[in-house]
Structure 1
């Protein structure tokens, strides 16, 4: 359901605002998703900066 709403928002942004608005809405959605994951505790800042071989948790 949330994916459908996000897709509709991107579709409306692309249709009414053009490709630039589409990219802006997509980027802000991605930033909001990552921020939400941080607030829920599913991600830690170190998850983006660890080398690939370092999978210790």
Structure 2
């Protein structure tokens, strides 16, 4: 399992644990899944956020 998959799965599980039931819970799970996906992509090196921070690494 790649770090991206682990991040996405972790985000979904945490979102489901944080809110259970209804449309609001769906939105929370979607948000946590998206955050988990982004974190996984950064850890995997497939997403570089240095341009958003305004600094260049090299």
Q: CA RMSD in A?
A: 2.8
Scaled by the length of structure 1, the TM-score of the pair is 0.53
When the two structures are aligned, how many residues end up with a matched partner? 38
5+ residue gaps, structure 2, are 53-58
Q: After TM superposition, where is structure 1 displaced by more than 3 Å over at least 4 residues in a row?
A: none
User: Which structure carries more relative contact order (alpha carbon 8 Å, separation 6+)?
Assistant: 2
Separation of aligned partners in 1, 2:21 and 2:28: 10
Scaled by the length of structure 2, the TM-score of the pair is 0.52
